[in-house]
Structure 1
Amino acid sequence: MSEDQDNSDKTEEPTQRRLEEARKKGQIAVSRELGSFLMMLTLSGSVLFLSPWLMHKTSLSLVAFIDHPNAIELSGDGVKKVLVAVLGIFTAILATPILLAVLVAIGSSVVQNGFLISYDALAPKLERISLVKGLGRLFSMRSLVELIKGIFKIVLVGAVAYISVRPLLHTIPIMHTLSIEGMLALLKMMTKRMLIGICLVLGFIAIVDFLYQRFEFMKSMRMSRQDIKDELKQSEGDPEIKSRLRALRSERSRKRMMSAVPKADVIITNPTHYAIALQYDRSTMKAPRVVAKGVDIIAAKIREIAKEHDVPIMRNPPLARALYDTVKLDEEIPEKHYHAVAEVISYVYQLKGVAA
């Protein structure tokens, strides 16, 4: 009951930090069905691509058994030798496709989540050998889904394989009348139809399973609002995180400040190093307010934006430096600068034809 309550509280999407910590522990979304599909696709492609060479090698290897069946001893040792020889032939022939398929299956995990070695996942833990938790995992909803999925896949793949070769089944009773080349050609056709059908089914299952595994993983990573608050407190204690947050706040503040420049009434400069943007609305303000200020690069940007929006730029080095040093952003100017600023504002209003 408490576990259900805990899960019901986890309604928020996981943060990047939680996902990174889960990855370090080896907790990632992996679709085994995608690996199976890629493995089967590689194996099928290799077999079909190499089929001329495989058929040639197979015919050369089996010709002795088919052309001279009387030479085969029917004793236990004779049959054993034949089976070992046939097994060796097919192992040598299929070694390359199987090796490629295994490598692709291993690489499928890398394709899904990148290269990852988690020592935490490899470390021995008592909970992994706990009988109670083991039974819990065995009878969990995830295990039930995997069981149903496995049964469904076996039935579906078997049905598709049968449907694929069904039109050719009537040829099996007469295969002994065909030449070696004819038998191999027929087997190739049946194999090709069956492999294509199986790959299509496994591909569909892989897509569905991939999306399902991603959904289940993100669901398991969900956090409660309290989790997010706790993580935020921990993160803000990290000097690197603090520095990054300060940089983000500074960038946001700068963008907000620059967006206020077009609304300014005048820009006071010194003229190159300092730039102060003043705004004055007699109906709502007691005195002009500093809406943007900066030095060097930022000052140049303020002047650039002001020119683009036809905001007057006035050169007054002493006033520019004084306002920059004594007035904070979004504050009204102090009384000691009223007279100097009033002269500038009056001049600007005269230029605009507005009564001061």
Structure 2
Amino acid sequence: MAEESDQEKTEEPTAKRLDDARKKGQIARSKELGTTAVLVASAAALLIFGDDLGRQLMEVMQQQFTLDRDDAFDTTKMFGVWGEVLSHIMVPIIGIFAVVLVAAFVGNSLLGGMNFSWQAMAPKFSKMSPLKGFKRMFGPQAAMELFKSILKVAVVAAVAIWLVSVFLQDILYLSIQDLPGNTYDATELLGWIFLGLCCSTLVISMVDVPFQKWNHNKQLKMTKQEVKDEFKNTEGNPEIKGRIRQAQREISQRKMMSEVPNADVVVTNPTHYSVAIKYDTEKSSAPYVVAKGADMIAMHIRKIAKEKDVPIIETPLLTRSIYYTTDINQEIPEQLFVAVAQVLAYVYQLDLHQKGKGKKPKPLDKELPIPPEMRY
């Protein structure tokens, strides 16, 4: 089949297509969002740990620039100095790295969530194709990257100019301050300016995140034929499923019909419905349905019942009540116990009479006790 154009992919991606794409590592990602999170977190960490870091660096510098004559000629002194320097700056440095590490993890997982895919790590020779590379260079993704680059330069430059104008007097004041006060103030000032510049990248992220979601959805869109094919592959061909259901119904009906000869009685509508009832105290504490059906199936049940000498009783109201309220192998509802008991008692008495062991029973009451809510 010829490759279908994007214009023909009008259907939203299905859950299966989204899941398959995720397994391949194809999820919506925004590099700008991750970059912004790292930059803002770095600026925040600098503000949190910057003062301590500045004090520790000042102490290190004072120690290292104050040397005795013996220390200056001691070739092993340098190795001891490293440990002293690390002991001073380790805590603020670890704090800054920890904040940046968490921000990098969270920022890159905000859009698309966490995902690990071996397929995404596998080499793809299609990426080496010059034709596809040319398409990527002049495609919508490349145009978006160009737009973001221009936007970055414009936004960051504008914010930088604004921040310099706001903090100009503070920057100039640093030159006339005494040490170490100007060092601490410079660290704090640098942190706030850096935070302002980093926050300016939020504008780029606000543009990039919706675009990446839209572009990801656009790449996964499907044609109507793809949706149909996927449905066939996942749910099965409707024609095959129909044949399977038909075969299952036939098997179920054959099994049901095999139970009709074991029934104690078959009640009928008399033409549209038939229900075969069995009362076996070893299997159930109440009478239960072994077979039921309407129209052709009802006729088949009556036919088997006649062939196997199973009593057939015409009780239209009771038959409809059982048919609509009770499934196969399910006990008769409690509301119908009295009516069913009368039918079974009549059948048992009739059987005894036919065997010469009892009197002929009175005709079954046409108005059996059936509650109004059980009448159909």
TM-score, normalised with respect to structure 1? 0.60
Question: In structure 1, the residue corresponding to 2:116 is in which secondary structure?
Answer: coil
Matched with 1:55 is 54
Give the stretch that moved more between structures: 150-159 or 57-66: 57-66
The amino acid across from 1:130 in the alignment is S
In 2, distance between residues paired with 1:65 and 1:183?
Answer: 20
The amino acid across from 1:156 in the alignment is V
In 2, distance between residues paired with 1:21 and 1:98?
Answer: 35
The amino acid across from 2:115 in the alignment is L
The amino acid across from 1:293 in the alignment is T
Matched with 1:224 is 223
Deviation at 1:203? 3.4
Matched with 2:327 is 294
- Aligned positions of 1:2-41 closer than 5 A: 6-41=5-40
Deviation at 1:114? 4.0
Matched with 2:340 is 316
Q: 1:169 to 1:288 in 2, by over 3 A?
A: same
- Aligned positions of 1:52-91 closer than 5 A: 52-63=51-62
Q: 1:148 to 1:162 in 2, by over 3 A?
A: same
Matched with 1:145 is 144
Matched with 1:158 is 157
Q: 1:199 to 1:318 in 2, by over 3 A?
A: farther
Q: 1:212 to 1:274 in 2, by over 3 A?
A: farther
Contact 2:53 2:89 in 1 (8 A): no
Contact 2:44 2:191 in 1 (8 A): no
Deviation at 1:225? 0.9
Q: 1:164 to 1:15 in 2, by over 3 A?
A: same
Q: Deviations over 1:313-342 (max 9, x none)?
A: 76527989xxxxxxxxxxxxxxxxxx99x9
Contact 1:25 1:121 in 2 (8 A): yes
Structure 2 gaps of 5+ residues are 68-81, 246-275, 280-285, 294-318, 345-362
Q: 1:318 to 1:214 in 2, by over 3 A?
A: farther
Q: Deviations over 1:284-327 (max 9, x none)?
A: xxx9484453368x869xx69xx9xxxx776527989xxxxxxx
Give the stretch that moved more between structures: 162-171 or 227-236: 162-171
Structure 1 gaps of 5+ residues are 69-84, 247-267, 279-286, 321-338
Question: In structure 1, the residue corresponding to 2:327 is in which secondary structure?
Answer: strand
Root-mean-square deviation (CA), in Å?
A: 4.7
Deviation at 1:127? 1.4
Q: Deviations over 1:178-213 (max 9, x none)?
A: 112332343244334324423433334334422321
In 2, distance between residues paired with 1:103 and 1:141?
Answer: 32
- Aligned positions of 1:180-219 closer than 5 A: 180-219=179-218
In 1, distance between residues paired with 2:342 and 2:105?
Answer: 71
In 2, distance between residues paired with 1:294 and 1:170?
Answer: 88
In 1, distance between residues paired with 2:112 and 2:97?
Answer: 24
Contact 2:25 2:117 in 1 (8 A): yes
Deviation at 1:227? 0.4
Q: Deviations over 1:124-165 (max 9, x none)?
A: 222111111111111111111112112212321232233234
More helix by share: 1
Matched with 1:108 is 107
Q: How many residues align?
A: 273
Contact 1:42 1:101 in 2 (8 A): yes
Deviation at 1:276? 11
Q: 1:347 to 1:126 in 2, by over 3 A?
A: same
Contact 1:29 1:213 in 2 (8 A): yes
Question: In structure 1, the residue corresponding to 2:326 is in which secondary structure?
Answer: strand
In 2, distance between residues paired with 1:182 and 1:109?
Answer: 38
Q: 1:291 to 1:34 in 2, by over 3 A?
A: farther
Q: 1:192 to 1:125 in 2, by over 3 A?
A: closer
Q: Deviations over 1:249-273 (max 9, x none)?
A: xxxxxxxxxxxxxxxxxxx997476
Matched with 1:234 is 233
TM-score, normalised with respect to structure 2? 0.57
Contact 1:26 1:118 in 2 (8 A): yes
